[in-house]
């Protein structure tokens, strides 16, 4: 439900269920047996709720980087003046700007080309070592860790879109100076074309730099899963 790429709305539900069943079929024999014979119906439902919540939390940690990428794409869209030119993203089920779509699919390509989806599945399997079935607990360090990761979304997004923010700032300064020197000039309308062209040029020239930043944060996902699982197990 929350794993990147496979949680897209254009992925059939049957395929998601099949992938979840396949992962469970492959991982279950590697885990120690769980003694649930003494559990009542409500105890079994509680255990299922806890395990589903742990899975959703780990999936959320995996998707935080993609949220930051979408946020960076939103900043780039606004700075380039392309807010009205939105397209439908079937992966998220919402309308996004063209720069957001480019960065989103760039992150997906980096995830697959670096085999990070394999490392994420391996980290998911190892999470049962750090937090066995039914042993998850909420704790204050876990809450602080999740809040800190959420706060980092804005910093990561601004860092990825930093070149476009800098160019937009320079263009604003230049046209502000021109408006003081030439009062008859319609700065508001004339700056649109320059901002869009300069933004597109800088976006294309710095795409490699943005890809490197995205890759650096994507490579941290397995270690992030390990840390969150350890906090869940030591709550």
**Spatial separation of the C-alpha atoms in residues 229 and 109, rounded to whole Å:** 26
Nearest to 70 by CA among 53, 91, 46: 91
pLDDT digits (tens, 9 = 90+) for 31-51: 777 777 777 778 788 888 888
pLDDT digits (tens, 9 = 90+) for 150-165: 888 888 888 888 888 8
> 65-69, 85-89, 102-106, 226-230: lowest mean pLDDT where?
85-89
Percent of the chain scoring above 70 in pLDDT: 89
Q: Is residue 8 part of a domain?
A: no
Count CA within 13 A, CB hemisphere, residue 224. Answer: 22
Q: Is residue 212 part of a domain?
A: yes
Beta-bridged to residue 95, according to DSSP, are: 88
Question: Which domain range does residue 100 map to?
Answer: 13-233
How many domains does the chain fold into?
1
Q: Is residue 6 part of a domain?
A: no
Q: Is residue 31 part of a domain?
A: yes
Give the pair of three-digit tokens for residue 109. 């390509």
Q: Is residue 147 part of a domain?
A: yes
More confident residue, 191 or 218: 218
> 32-41, 50-59, 63-72: lowest mean pLDDT where?
32-41
Q: Is residue 97 part of a domain?
A: yes
Q: Is residue 2 part of a domain?
A: no
Is this prediction's pTM over 0.85? Answer: no
Count CA within 13 A, CB hemisphere, residue 151. Answer: 6
Q: Is residue 1 part of a domain?
A: no
Q: Is the Cβ–Cβ distance between 233 and 225 less than 8 Å?
A: no
């Amino acid at each position: 439900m929350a794993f990147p790429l496979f949680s897209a709305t254009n992925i059939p539900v049957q395929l998601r269920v099949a992938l979840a069943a396949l992962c469970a079929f492959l991982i279950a024999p590697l885990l120690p047996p769980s003694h649930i014979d003494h559990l009542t119906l409500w105890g079994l439902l509680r255990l299922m709720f806890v395990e589903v919540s742990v899975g959703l939390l780990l999936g959320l940690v995996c998707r935080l980087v993609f949220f930051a990428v979408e946020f960076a794409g939103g900043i780039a869209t606004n700075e380039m003046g392309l807010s009205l030119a939105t397209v439908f993203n079937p992966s998220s089920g919402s309308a996004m700007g063209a720069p957001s779509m480019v960065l989103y699919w760039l992150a997906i390509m980096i995830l697959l080309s670096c085999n990070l989806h394999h490392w994420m599945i391996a980290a998911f399997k190892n999470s049962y070592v750090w937090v066995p079935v039914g042993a998850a607990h909420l704790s204050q360090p876990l809450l602080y860790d999740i809040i800190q990761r959420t706060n980092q979304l804005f910093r990561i997004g601004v860092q990825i879109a930093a070149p476009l923010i800098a160019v937009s700032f320079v263009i604003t300064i230049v046209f502000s100076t021109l408006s003081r020197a030439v009062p008859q000039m319609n700065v508001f309308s004339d700056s649109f074309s320059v901002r869009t062209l300069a933004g597109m040029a800088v976006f294309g020239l710095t795409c490699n730099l943005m890809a490197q930043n995205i890759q650096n944060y994507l490579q941290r996902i397995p270690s992030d899963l390990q840390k969150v699982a350890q906090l869940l197990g030591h709550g």
